[in-house]
Amino acid sequence: MIRKVLLVDDDAAVREALGQTLELADYEPVTAGSFVAAKDHIRPDFPGVILSDIRMPGRDGFHLLSYAQGIDPELPVILLTGEGDIPMAVQAMGQGAFDFLEKPCAAADLLAVLEKAFQARAQVLEHRAMKRELERGDPAARLLFGLSPQAEALRERVRSVAPTGAEVLVTGPPGSGISKVAEVIHLMSPASQGPFVKRPASGLAATEFSRLCSDAAGGSLFLDEVSAMPEGTQYAALELIEQGAGLRIIAGTTADLSDLVARGQFNADLFYRLDVMRVRIPSLAERPEDIPVIFRHYVAQAAEQAGIPAPEVTPDHLAALMAQDWPGNARSLMSAAMRFVLGMPEEVAEASGLGLAEQMARVERSLLIAALGRHNGKASEAAKALKLPRKTFYDKLARYGIRPEDYRR
């Protein structure tokens, strides 16, 4: 997401100082000295937030807030107040402002509030994009990329799970897109017109959990990394599910919850209530053939966000990508695509610098893992699919330190 800040203040010196602070923090400031100058920049799906002074000649910050809400009610507006304006700022919060800061404000305080606003804005825009895809057709096909059998199996699983309305446990390695899959499940569910509320489970108090359930009523509540949920909140969640919460709970985890249950580190009853339907996301290492498709999508997306033409992706570049392990999965591939668009493909350059034997070894390792993933860790079936003698197959597994049991579901 482009990090734009519409900065509105009638004082040119303040605009310049704040603009420099924003640029140093990698934001893209767009400055205006009045409501009239600012309003033409405000549009639906504005990729950023508004930072405005309250007191300005003519139409003030309240007018700007009201105008912005009329264009896009979920566009964050942060108001800057002068000394003695705190009551006005509190009033503005009641009218829907995201937050307020008293001038002069420390750069650290400003950037902390902006970061929260951008996180909220990114979530809103991502959800809107997914809803548009839903209106255009099958969101599983349009949002869960890949041509491999594993990718198609993931899409089929999402299609079968989503309409049931039952609790879902989404699992996968770090960076594999658990949150995205959870939202696709929501969009394809009977509760798709209701809210989609997501929150990391780490540090989630029981009282906040209750409030989140109220916010998500009639929709879905996604709890990310549910394995980190505090023990007291686990009991609250179990009680709510058993009573019938009036919402769907989707839990995500990169950890093995059954192992945590066995070690007494996660509530067994809650695990069984969350694990009604399970969706497993395969790693990129299990499906290297999907890397070109996903990378090209991320390149197009990054180029659109940056407002520049998408550069050509050569076969050599894709081969170098497929030779990498990608332990960060889709998240690290997305970062690589952004660097590629901006002319900084350092990770690919490192892979391209490998000798032929090293690159071939990486590709071979990826294909072995992919075969094991497709065949649920069954070595004999994977060896047969790759047309390798069993001994040769096991020798290769030993050479690369691959354990078939790691790919059993």
User: Which structural domains are found in the chain, ordered by start?
Assistant: 4-124 (3.40.50.2300), 137-282 (3.40.50.300), 285-407 (1.10.8.60)
Query: Which tens digits make up the pLDDT trace of 114-164?
Result: 988 988 888 788 777 766 665 556 667 666 878 788 888 999 999 999 999
Q: Is the pLDDT of residue 364 over 80?
A: no
CB 322 within 8 A of CB 314: no
The pTM score is: 0.59
In 3D space, the residue among 12, 13, 29 whose CA is nearest the CA of residue 21 turns out to be 29
Q: Which pLDDT belongs to residue 381?
A: 87
Tokens encoding 58: 């003519």
3-state helix, strand, coil in the chain (%, to 5): 55, 10, 30
Q: Which pLDDT belongs to residue 167?
A: 94
Q: Which pLDDT belongs to residue 134?
A: 57
Q: Which pLDDT belongs to residue 351?
A: 47
Cα of first residue to Cα of last residue in the chain, in angstroms, is 35
Q: Is the pLDDT of residue 246 over 50?
A: yes
Q: Is the pLDDT of residue 320 over 50?
A: yes
Q: Which pLDDT belongs to residue 90?
A: 77
Lookup result for tokens 């929150």: 199
Q: What are phi and psi of 6, to 5 degrees?
A: -80, 105
Q: Which pLDDT belongs to residue 259?
A: 94
Mean pLDDT confidence for 52-58? 87
- CA-angle at 114, arms to 113 and 119, nearest 5°: 100
Q: Is the pLDDT of residue 237 over 80?
A: yes
Q: Which pLDDT belongs to residue 209?
A: 93
